[in-house]
Amino acid sequence: MSRLGDLLKLERTRRGLTPKQVAKLCGVAEKYLIDVESGSRIIADDQARRILKRIGLEHQNEADFSLDDIAAVTDLAAAKQPPTAQPRPTPDPQRPVISLKAEGDGGIFLSALAEVLHQVPVYDAGWNIVDTRLLPIIGGRIEGGAPDKTLYFRAPDASCRGFRILPGDLALITPAQSPIDGAIMLVVFNNHRALRKVKIIDEKRVMLQTYDREYEAENAPIESVAFIGRAVRIEIYL
């Protein structure tokens, strides 16, 4: 999603409106609104604000918290917590935290935002957090997975080139601790984390497939492989 699309969907869902209702109210096509919310269509800031005003947003909450600020937030869960006198926890040095003040109408906005977006960590092959991405939570899940168990894995090499995964691409991984036949999964095998296409041979063995310039496969006992999760989406860099 785009940041403006996130904002429009957030305010629409908070008011219990369907895309069709909002489209009719604002004089735009329903498909146009759906495309904007999904991020496949660009919308100008002023047009987004007009739509927000038409659906009943009395105060321009985004004026105090710009879309760039929202994109920079790395601890939305902390932003929605009321202030307390308790000491702050020691931050994780591998995961720097940037916080925004949650005051007035903007505080209400950030609180609601934290309910629909989750900060997903990006891991490299050494299992270090190298980045984070904000993804929408739908029905309490991200792409069908528990938000706190969902992660990105940055492909370190071209071992899955034939499966259209190039070095540096991000695989969105949802948790799965058992092999899934035909799926590309993040596995730990021979003390090495990697993306592999999985083929179940029988109840005791699996085939871990790679495809760089040539197709290769390695048979392994299921008990020797740790399955972290399934790749449900690949994000590429052009």
How much of the chain exceeds pLDDT 90, in percent?
43
Q: Average of pLDDT values for 188-201? A: 94
In a shared domain, residues 106 and 142: no
Is 155 part of a structural domain of the chain?
yes
In a shared domain, residues 142 and 54: no
The shares of helix, strand and coil residues in the chain, as percent rounded to the nearest 5, are: 30, 30, 40
In a shared domain, residues 204 and 166: yes
pLDDT of residue 2: 58
The number of beta carbons lying within 10 Å of the beta carbon of residue 15 is 12
Q: Residues for the chain: how many in total?
A: 238
Phi and psi torsions of 80, nearest 5°: -90, -5
Closest CA to 117 of 60, 155, 79: 79
pLDDT at 75 over 80: no
pLDDT of residue 71: 43
Is 127 part of a structural domain of the chain?
no
Q: Average of pLDDT values for 41-70? A: 63
The strand pair at 117-123 and 129-136 is best described as antiparallel
169: containing domain: 137-235
Pick the more confident residue, 124 or 32.
124
Band of residue 8 on the pLDDT scale cut at 50, 70, 90:
confident
Which of 27-36, 43-52, 115-124, 169-178 is predicted most confidently? 169-178
pLDDT of residue 61: 44
CA distance linking residue 102 with residue 116, whole number of Å: 16
CA distances from 84 to 24, 79, 81, 88, 175 (A): 44, 12, 9, 9, 34
CA distance linking residue 236 with residue 55, whole number of Å: 35
CATH of the domain at 15: 1.10.260.40
Closest CA to 122 of 168, 187, 191: 168
Band of residue 38 on the pLDDT scale cut at 50, 70, 90:
confident
